[in-house]
Each structure stands twice: as structure tokens, then as C-alpha cells.
Amino acid sequence: MALAAAFAAGCGNKGGGSAGGSGDGLVTVNGANVSVEELHKYLERKQSVQVIGEQGLVEARVAGSLALQGMRDLINRQLLMQIAKEEGVAPTPEAVAKELEYQTKRNPALVKTLTQAGLTLDEIRADLALDLARFNLLTKGVTITQSDVDLFIKENPKEFVNPETVDLYWVLLRNPANKAKVDKDLASGQQFPVVAARYSEAQDARRQNGVYPIREVSRLNPRLKTIVDKLKPGSSTEWIQDGQNAVKFFLQGRTPEAKVNIDEAMREQVRRRLAEARGGQANDLGKTLTDRLKAAKIEVKVPHLREAWTQAFDAVKNQDAGATATGTATPPAAGTATK
């Protein structure tokens, strides 16, 4: 069994934007300007995206186009908020502010991370409002008591354990001739991450400094797990033949399994989880959204998206009709929020 599949990354669609496009500047390439408008136009027709798999970044084809998917998501967002208002469970500004406080307690870097990614505070609040609306609709009529939370914690102790993890670095070589170069640099005292970034042929090795993408010991390939179990922190393996590749691993450190601190924030997570699970059995939010979508008056004003939307919408209706005939439920075409 292979220790790790070679990372595959396609080039995706190539941009067709010309230098000196109109609109605000996005970036310059050797003095030639690429505008934000060009970026937006290109994203509308981009046919592939990079997604994160267990072995790193992989290229995936887009169903339709990013513009169509984005428009579909925005339609679903509008419908979800409209339903929440009609059902009397739309979040108030005070509830959104409280949710932002709760989320920042769970993750103090949340706002900084999101703003660095380009979101404004208003956009962060809008996303939280959407998440709350979805949660409120899904859990309407559901009550989870503290006793329910206590019982779940008691009966599911493994749910509250941080798994054992390892910090691994690796070098993957397809050219065996480079093994001697790696060994020479390591023997001279150079740090393993530096050497890995220089020689490893694993995708993103240079950008990641040779970090191995899987940290949880239980998720490691069985062969690799056996090897890692024998390694001491600060030591590396000999060269291991992996099909046509040669690999070498370095163990930086190991974090043992540890119990999670069950504080009030964790208890609230459990309460929400239980409420969603129970609400999902009682309230079919997917069907509600699909029904509302079919009944909605939707006018696509951009000509090149109008036909694509009509085809996608017809497919949803036909799929829903087929599901009704077979007695199976059909969820909405796209999610409504990012957790």
C-alpha cells in the first residue's frame, strides 16, 4: 500500500484578461495591470477550482460555472432569510451580536482571520445571521435540556477527546539521484524542513516546508503509522521505497491523546448539535427551501446566466418530481451558509 499518493494539481482555466483592464487595480505583472473587474469576469466562467483533499490540493471541475453556483447560493440565502422572517425566527441584531461574541470566545482569531480574507464586519455579521436563521428554522419547536447535554457527554466519552497527533515532515523523490543530495545536506546540519522544501517533489513542498498533511495518528496509512510509532521526536527514517518514489520522514513532535475541557462553550456546542440532530428529524428544511424555490418569482437579469439558470432550475424540478415518485427527499441544490 502506498504511503502517500503523489499530489495532482492541474493548471485550471487560464485567464484571458488583458493588461490595463478597466476598474480598480488588483495586481500588476511586470508593470501590466490586472483589474478587479477582470478577476470578477474571469471567476464567472472559471471551470475548475482547487480543493483540499487528504493528500493536499487537488483540481476539481465545477458543475456549471462559479457564477451560476454563486448566484444559486445567493438565491438560497435570500429565500432562507425570507422564510425565517415569516416563521418569526429571524435573528435580531442583538442575537447576532451575541453570536459573534460566542464565536470569538471559541476562536479569538476569528474576526482577524475573516477580515484578512477580505470580509467586512458587516459581512461577517450577515453570515452569522444566516447561520442563526438556518439553525432557528431547523430547530424550531425543539428543546434540549441540560440533562440531555449531561447524558450525551456521559454516554459519548470518546467524543470529548483530542486524538493523538504527530508533526511530520517528509521528502518525496521521484529521482533517486537526489537521495544523496538530501542525505548530504541533512548530515551537514541543515534542518529537515529546509531540505524538504529544497528537494521534495510532493506538491506544495516548498510552500509548506515539507509538512506532511495528516496529523492525526489514527488517520495515517497503516504502514506509515507503524513506522511513525517507532520514531522518536527529532529523528528521521531511512529512505523508504514507495512504488516508484523514495520517501523519508522526520518526526518533529508528538501530542498524546487528551480529554477536552468541557466548559460552558463546549456544552453549548453539544446543545446545538443535539438540537440540530433532533430538528433534522422533525423539520425538513431542505424540502422547505426547494418548495419555496419552485414557488419563487426569480428573474435573472444577466443574459449569459439566464439560460444556465433555467436549465439548472428545470433540473431541480425534474429531480424533485422523480424523488416524489420514488418517495425520496431532495435537498436544495446548494448550501446556505459557511459554518
Neighbours of 194 (CB within 10 A): 14
**Which residue from 219, 225, 216, 211 is spatially nearest to 168, judged by alpha carbons?**
211
Q: What is the pLDDT of residue 181?
A: 95
Sorting pLDDT into bands at 50, 70 and 90, what band is 54?
low
Owner of C-alpha cell 529523528: 235
Q: What is the pLDDT of residue 207?
A: 85
Q: What is the pLDDT of residues 163-206, one digit of tens each?
A: 999 999 999 999 888 999 999 999 999 999 999 999 999 888 88
Average pLDDT estimate for 142-149: 96
Q: What is the pLDDT of residues 207-243, one digit of tens each?
A: 888 999 999 999 999 999 999 999 999 999 999 998 8
Q: What is the pLDDT of residue 320?
A: 56
Q: What is the pLDDT of residue 43?
A: 85
Q: What is the pLDDT of residues 16-26, one digit of tens each?
A: 444 344 457 88
Cα–Cα distance for residue pair 162/255, rounded to 1 Å: 9
Any idea where the domains of the chain sit in the sequence? 1-62, 70-140+283-291+303-326, 164-256
Query: What is the model's pTM?
Result: 0.70
pLDDT at 91 over 70: yes
Q: List the grid coordinates of 124.
A: 461577517
Q: What is the pLDDT of residues 79-89, one digit of tens each?
A: 999 999 999 99
HSE value, Cβ hemisphere, 13 Å, CA-based, for 53: 14
Q: What is the pLDDT of residue 331?
A: 38
Owner of C-alpha cell 511513525: 228
pLDDT at 15 over 60: no
Owner of C-alpha cell 480598480: 24
Average pLDDT estimate for 282-294: 90
Q: What is the pLDDT of residues 234-244, one digit of tens each?
A: 999 999 998 88
175 three-state secondary structure: coil
pLDDT at 336 over 50: no
HSE value, Cβ hemisphere, 13 Å, CA-based, for 39: 10
Mean pLDDT of the chain: 85
Q: What is the pLDDT of residue 2?
A: 41
Helices (H) and strands (E) in the chain, counts: 13, 10
- CATH T-level fold of 164-256: Chitinase A; domain 3 (3.10.50)
